[in-house]
């Protein structure tokens, strides 16, 4: 059996079935992915720190906030106050802020993640890569669900895994964007630690979340040839 982590992107869930879907997923996934967008860094506005407060009422699973914002320093302390386990910031807006914000997150006993857009090379984060707990590779352009999968981004996952082995770094590697039946085989070959699944890979597969999860697992196993171990089996 193959153990990879799945983290549902909750901006793509059916909010009319919020409690039902989270209650089911609590027994099957490893963490939750919460997109926070400010309408400036990307032309969209989705979830907020308030959503994390509401989610906290019905789950004990770790939460990972993905900040698609122009001013991460405005949001970081709010997420620290909510004890958000992972706070992930885009490298493209961290010039002059990276060390300060990573230290601020670590000083609070939380984990700091860095997100790379498809065009951003991993070399951009070399000055502080040894401090990072997670690196998220965007396999689509950020801001909207359902975009075209950019296969060349998988090379960065391979390179980050090699670099981690060579240097002894401790970050986990996550992929975000169009993780579904069409792309599972290619993603598996790159071997990230965490898959973000959204509308095309999970929530859009069936109105019933249990059926949608079953379809996703079957898709993964059929396309990769590997038997999946879910969080409830680990």
- The residues annotated with a catalytic role in the active site are 35, 176
Name beta bridge partners: 197. 8
CB 224 within 8 A of CB 188: yes
- DSSP 3-state helix, strand, coil percentages of the chain (rounded to 5)? 45, 20, 35
**Hey, which residues does 9 pair with through a beta bridge?**
33
Residue ranges of the annotated binding site are 33, 35, 66, 143-146, 176-178
| CA torsion angle 50 210 31 45 (round to 10) | -40
In sequence order, the 6+-apart residues with CB closer than 8 A to the CB of 38 are: 45, 68, 69, 70, 71
Binding residues for a divalent metal cation: 33, 35, 66, 176
Q: Is residue 57 classed exposed, middle or buried when 0-12, 13-18 and 19+ CB atoms within 10 A define those classes?
A: exposed
């Amino acid at each position: 059996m193959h153990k990879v982590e799945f983290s549902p992107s909750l901006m793509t869930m059916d909010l009319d079935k919020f409690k039902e879907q989270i209650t089911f997923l609590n027994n099957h996934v490893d963490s939750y992915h919460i997109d926070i967008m400010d309408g400036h860094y990307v032309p969209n506005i989705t979830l907020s720190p308030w959503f994390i407060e509401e989610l906290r009422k019905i789950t004990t699973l770790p939460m990972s906030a993905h900040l698609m914002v122009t001013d991460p320093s405005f949001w970081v302390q709010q997420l620290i106050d909510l004890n958000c386990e992972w706070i992930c910031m885009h490298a493209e807006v961290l010039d002059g802020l990276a060390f300060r914000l990573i230290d601020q997150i670590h000083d609070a006993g939380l984990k700091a993640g860095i997100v790379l857009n498809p065009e951003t090379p991993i070399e951009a984060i070399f000055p502080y890569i040894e401090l990072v707990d997670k690196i998220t590779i965007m396999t689509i352009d950020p801001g909207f669900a359902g975009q075209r999968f950019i296969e060349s981004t998988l090379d960065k996952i391979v390179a980050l895994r090699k670099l981690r082995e060579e240097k002894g770094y401790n970050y986990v590697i996550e992929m975000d964007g169009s993780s579904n039946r069409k792309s599972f085989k290619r993603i598996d070959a790159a071997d990230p630690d965490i898959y973000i699944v959204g509308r095309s890979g999970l929530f859009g597969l069936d109105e019933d979340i249990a059926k949608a999860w079953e379809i996703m697992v079957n898709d993964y196993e059929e396309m990769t040839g590997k038997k999946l171990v879910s969080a409830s089996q680990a």
